[in-house]
Structure 1
Amino acid sequence: IVFSEITKNNKTFEVIYATNDDKETIDCIDVSEKTNETMTIREYHEKMKKEKTATR
């Protein structure tokens, strides 16, 4: 998982990318405007782990 921030028109956006196992393909998996309620990368990772566990 790769995390970055982009600023455009005085707004900051958080972008989360993921790679496949061979690390050759990168997919954008989330873009959100940065606010005080925005999840941290750790919170997002925990949320994804819980969702994976729930679908098994």
Structure 2
Amino acid sequence: MAASWRFLRVKRLSASTKNPAATQAAITAPTGGATVDAEARAAINAIITRLEAYGLVADN
């Protein structure tokens, strides 16, 4: 039996041309707490900054 091939047309989504959802409320940077983890806070702040740059969350 010969192999059957199916070809699917796929649209590429790009963050620069299509926004998958409406812009969400701003996310505040982490503060307070009994233990301060500077590296974790820096990583979280970098993620927040990137989400803001892509327009997924509002700027602080």
What TM bracket, shorter-length normalisation?
0.3 to 0.5
Greater share of strand residues, 1 or 2? 1
Larger radius of gyration: 2
